[in-house]
Amino acid sequence: MKCLFCCEFYYPSVGGVQMVMQQIAERLVEKGHEVTVATTKLAEREERSINGVEIVEFNVTGNLAKGLDGEVQEYQSFLKNFDADVLLIKAAQQWTFDAACGVLDEIRMKTVFIPCGFSGLRRGLYQKYYEEMPNILKKIDHLIFYSSDYQDIDFARKEGLENYSVVPNGASESEFGRYPADNDIREKLDISPEAFVFLTVGARNGQKGHAEVAEAFSRMQNTTEAQITLILNGNIVTKKKNERKKGLMRKLRRSVKILLNLLLPNKIVLRNQEDRIFVSKIRCKLRRKFQLIETDLKRRDLVKLLFTSNLFVFASKTEYSPLVLFESAAAGTPILTVPVGNAEEILSWTKGGYLCPCEKDEVGNTNVDSAILAEHMTYALSHQHEMCQMGVMGREAWAKEFTWETITERYEAILQATLNSEAA
């Protein structure tokens, strides 16, 4: 089977879409299939063939709602003429799908599409985009959803579409198959072997809940004699240089606001994520046996940290089907998460954690109350045996149903069935 995968970004770019497409592509190659990936051109990509997967690059940016720029016609011509059996495109609202929409009738390959959540469904900018979406979806041969109960699959059902499958995300057996033999990450980070470690992971862009988790941690009750540690892992997304420049008065106002927040907690509202984390860090230093660490670990060390952490805390504002929850389950680390994306469904599948309730805004973003999150984190600290049992169940569920090898077999069957339907 010859496959063409299309996604906005691909390795060495880092992210959920990139991870999923790479895992499936490389495993299909191992099974004897041919896979080519069409994606955005990256300066740091030095090779056009990675682990047997061929890569074709295009200089294209944007989407239909915001406008497409670059080599759009070249990409469309490529789609119409590429010699493959089946086309797999991941995610709406990005150029590899949006540019393909205009030439779907001219593509000779069978088409499979992963909507990936329809994140802009309730946003005014995308109103016209989603008014046209039913007509586009009806031209697709097969749809793949990550959740059986989310807005993208509900959208398809409302339109009467039945040509779809639900295939969850997963975690790599090569990374999580066994406990790391040299798990020295606590020593590297200067964390006590006896400490109870809370961990959260995600880009430091204000959307992954780092500030909320840090604030909750700094306010929680330590019900043990041991040290408790929170690790905020993720790269800091910096602003443009001119946006980072601050005048003397602005710096002074910021310092005063931070000081007042320390003196009058819950009275002064800090909106900047880094300021909120900074305040939480000071609070932790003033309290006995509280340790807050900010870091951005390489993948190998992050996997080690997942294995040695006691609770994974997830307070992200917007997600679809977060890979980190599957990876936490794979590591046997219990999960405390807000109901973001299909997180609640993932917990029902894996039995690997519990939910912290929170409100959602008009576009579906979660906004957790740090005081409530602190109560749930304190519960985990006080019920460590129960947490360990959740971790065991999560790992068992992952090994049975959510390894990338198992997930790839399901993709392979769907792609093959879609291809075979041509002769029917």
Span 192-242, pLDDT tens digits = 999 999 999 998 888 899 999 999 999 998 888 889 999 999 987 655 444
Residue predicted with more confidence, 265 or 354? 354
What is the structure's pLDDT at 252?
67
Spatial distance between the Cα atoms of 46 and 167, rounded to a whole number of angstroms: 32
pLDDT digits (tens, 9 = 90+) for 305-330: 999 999 999 999 999 999 999 999 99
Band of residue 280 on the pLDDT scale cut at 50, 70, 90: confident
Spatial distance between the Cα atoms of 22 and 43, rounded to a whole number of angstroms: 19
Band of residue 39 on the pLDDT scale cut at 50, 70, 90: very high
What is the structure's pLDDT at 222?
87
The sign one gets for the Cα dihedral 197, 200, 204, 207 is negative
Look at residue 423 and tell me whether its pLDDT is greater than 50: no
Q: Which parts of 43-146 fold into alpha helices (H)?
A: 72-81, 95-101, 127-137
| List of domains in the chain | 2-170+403-423 (3.40.50.2000), 173-401 (3.40.50.2000)
What is the structure's pLDDT at 235?
84
Spatial distance between the Cα atoms of 129 and 92, rounded to a whole number of angstroms: 10
Pairing of strands 2-6, 335-337: unpaired
Residue predicted with more confidence, 409 or 238? 409
Spatial distance between the Cα atoms of 168 and 407, rounded to a whole number of angstroms: 7
Show the CA angle centred on residue 395, arms to residues 392 and 400, nearest 5°.
Answer: 125
Most confident of 260-269, 362-371, 379-388: 379-388
What is the structure's pLDDT at 269?
67
Residue holding tokens 């020593």? 187
Q: Kindly report which listed range (75-89, 283-297, 332-346) carries the lowest average pLDDT score.
A: 283-297
**Rounded to 5 degrees, what are φ and ψ at 401?**
-130, -15
Compute the chain's Rg from CA coordinates. 23
Spatial distance between the Cα atoms of 84 and 220, rounded to a whole number of angstroms: 56
The answer to whether 348 and 395 are in contact (CB under 8 A) is no
Look at residue 244 and tell me whether its pLDDT is greater than 60: no
- Total number of residues shown for the chain: 424
pLDDT digits (tens, 9 = 90+) for 147-183: 999 999 999 999 999 999 999 999 999 999 999 989 9
**Residue 402: both structure tokens together:** 């959510």
Look at residue 73 and tell me whether its pLDDT is greater than 60: yes
What is the structure's pLDDT at 267?
62
Residue holding tokens 């009806």? 138
Look at residue 110 and tell me whether its pLDDT is greater than 70: yes
Q: What number is the average pLDDT over the span 138-150?
A: 97
